[in-house]
Amino acid sequence: MKNIFTVLLLIFITKSFAQEDAWIYLTDKPNVSTVLANPTSILTQKAIDRKQRHNITIDERDVPVNEIYISDLKAQTGITVLAKSKWFNAAHVRGTEDNIKALSNLTFVETIDFANQNLNTASRRASRLNKTEIEDETIAFTYGDTQNQVEMINADNLHLADYTGEGITIAVMDSGFPNVNTMGAFQRLRENNDLLDGYDFVDRTSDVYAFTGSNHGTKVLSTMAAFVQDQFVGTAPDASYYLFRTEDSGSENPVEESYWVEAAERADSLGVDLINTSLGYTTYDNSNYSYSPADMNGQTAYISKGASIAAEKGILVVVSAGNAGATDWQTVGAPGDSPDVLSIGGVDGNGDYVSFSSQGGIAQIGYQKPDVVARGGAAYVVSEFNSIVQNNGTSFSSPILCGGIASLWQALPNASPTEIKDYVRQSASQFNTPDDFLGYGIPDLDLAKNLALSLDEEQLGDFIFYPNPVKSNLNIVLPSTVNQLEVSVYNQLGQEILNQVITENSKTINVSSFTAGIYLIRFSTQNISKTLKFIKSSNE
């Protein structure tokens, strides 16, 4: 009997004193209508301008949480407030199960969601993965340049046209940015005043450049922003950057998801255009907090729901797919599982799938993951010691493409985030036949620019072609002032696949043999040339 009592006592003590994490959702916010009537009190003018440009409504989610509620939570017995979110009107707290459950007695607490799903409803158990295990492997400390990883996505043609990310602002969420404020590889960035600001949400300090156990963020940033004369050029060397530390490399805990949401909210308020996140969340030190592959549906993980809100707010979120392709986990992690973000898988220098790159899974119903791919195998990066090295990981394919997208967006300043995502997907190498390894394939950002410009332009004088989409015959209508017209059709690789002269007696182009997909059509006369887009639909 004594032994039974001892066991029961131990169970009671463990239950009473074990620390749990939970999200506390609050009932309301103060003075919402007044605040929304004066948006400059909560958002920078740059953020307001960006939202207006993309027709994004400023709503109640932009209003800060009630700080009186936060103070009251902090005052509760055994409760530590670790983070808060205006988008979710929530606070991330830590305490014993009993102390957290006691918060439901507070009038301003609407619901409680434990990170340990055993304390809510269904379990989310899985074994822990080390998401930086592959990336931290240095393959070679050898100098080289970034020609392959830049040319692979055709960002070099954007650079030649002077589209280098100028005027685009990127927030980088990562685990540490040591020496970015002093390294030679970022000297050009600093001299151009493009290293805007930063914050460490983990340690709650503005010193984001101190070494905190990880150099991951420095390497990630380098693929976009570093510049070493004749040796290394990032994909967006003239973009502007905010650096936010949201990842604690010393442990795996769901509070990091909450740090990320806080950083995304700050990025939104600062008017950021793009977020790059070379992080992924699947499993935790406490297995009760872990997700399962079935949870990677874009609607379960807190960070994935936050990433979707960021997209709603007009930010284009670019996320690494993850490095679990060769593990039992296999599928894309959070927040890359959100259908509203661009998830980037990895290929090698030849454009072939690398086995570690996380794949699409059955949880992503009705949408494709990863979205597209870029070089993640033996990618060139700059370490915190200002050395050019090669590392593996989708942590690098993501920013390589994110920087390229910043350069693309500079060329298309009126495009919305959704349109930019669509152009990137449509330009990719296997847009017509996506799969769970490469998604839509390797984007061609110069082609993406041309696709967008063809849609923006007006019809060439009175020239009309129809139908669009087309199954078999594309009809061309000539204006009365033109007797002859040269027509060229190009595939997504920019290759000319048809050239035909259109006259009054021959005004039809047969495209029935073309595979389904997007094509460019160029109309040329002696004085004018015009390129537009048409869609070849399936013959079925």
d(CA 223, CA 468): 39
Strand partners, 470: 536
Distance between CA atoms of residues 114 and 97, nearest Å:
9
Distance separating alpha carbons of residues 16 and 161, to the nearest angstrom: 64
Given 21, 156, 174, 273, which residue is catalytic?
Answer: 174
Are the CB atoms for 218 and 208 separated by under 8 Å?
no
Q: What is the length of the chain?
A: 540
For the chain, helix (H) and strand (E) counts, in that order, are: 14, 23
54 noted as active-site residue = no
Question: Are the C-beta atoms of 242 and 276 separated by less than 8 Å?
Answer: no
Which of 406, 400, 403 has its CA nearest to residue 377? 400
Residues 85, 156, 216, 407: which is the catalytic one?
Answer: 216
The answer to whether residues 360 and 343 touch, using CB atoms and an 8 Å cutoff, is no
Residue 382: burial class (beta carbons within 10 Å; 0-12, 13-18, 19+) = buried
> DSSP string of 425-485?
HHTSTTTTS-BTTTBT----HHHHHHHHHHHHSPPSTT-EEE-SSBSSEEEEE--TT-SEE
Residue 174 bears catalytic tag:
yes
Comparing CA positions, the residue from 321, 243, 307, 255 lying closest to residue 87 is 307
Residue keyed to tokens 């949201």: 246
DSSP helix/strand/coil, 296: coil
**Angle formed by the axes of helices 417-426 and 445-456, nearest 10°:** 120
* CA dist., res. 424 & res. 317, Å (int): 13
In the three-class reduction of DSSP (H, G, I as helix; E, B as strand; rest coil), residue 499 is classed as strand
**For this structure, is 216 an active site residue?**
yes
How far apart (Å, rounded) are the C-alpha atoms in residues 26 and 111?
A: 7
What CA–CA distances, in Å, run from 443 to 81, 398, 431, 492, 526?
42, 12, 9, 10, 33
Q: What type of residue is 141?
A: F
484 strand-pairing partners: 503
The catalytic residue positions are: 174, 216, 395
